[in-house]
Amino acid sequence: GNSVTQMEGPVTLSEEAFLTINCTYTATGYPSLFWYVQYPGEGLQLLLKATKADDKGSNKGFEATYRKETTSFHLEKGSVQVSDSAVYFCALNQAGTALIFGKGTTLSVSS
């Protein structure tokens, strides 16, 4: 069945450091891929998405490229801020099925 694997956290960085959170997936066909972010005490917010191979999603300085050859959708940001501290979830969606999430990666950024 379909699945999403994320790097385990927590990830601890200093402000302005480069961020990569790895995400790989297993799916038949051509899923859409998403990154969601969850701040403490809140629900999930869509961060970015990509719906086909080689698409790049971007938002608020975050980027991720849909790589079908490596079945990956790694999240990157060039310079993190303290306000980026949150839990990040990679997810996939296929027609007629529910969103499938990775286990989440906690990011902690210190000043």
Q: How far is the CB of 106 from other proteins (least distance, A)?
A: 11
What is the closest distance, in whole angstroms, from the C-beta atom of residue 39 to other proteins in the complex? 10
Residue 84's φ and ψ, nearest 5 degrees, are: -80, -5
Closer Cβ to other proteins, 40 or 111, answer by number: 40
Structure tokens at 7: 């790097």
When the beta carbons of 62 and 89 are compared against other proteins, the nearer one is: 89
What are the residues binding other proteins (CB under 8 A)?
30-32, 34, 36, 42-46, 49, 51, 89, 93-104
Q: Please check whether residue 105 is in contact with residue 24, taking contact to mean a CB–CB distance below 8 angstroms.
A: no
Positive or negative: CA dihedral 44, 75, 31, 91? negative
Q: How far is the CB of 14 from other proteins (least distance, A)?
A: 27
Helix (H, G, I), strand (E, B) or coil at 37: strand
Nearer to other proteins, 49 or 77 (CB): 49
Report how far Cα 26 is from the mean position of its chain's Cα atoms: 15
Q: What 3-state class would DSSP assign to 104?
A: coil
CB nearer other proteins, residue 69 or residue 95: 95
> What is the closest distance, in whole angstroms, from the C-beta atom of residue 30 to other proteins in the complex?
7
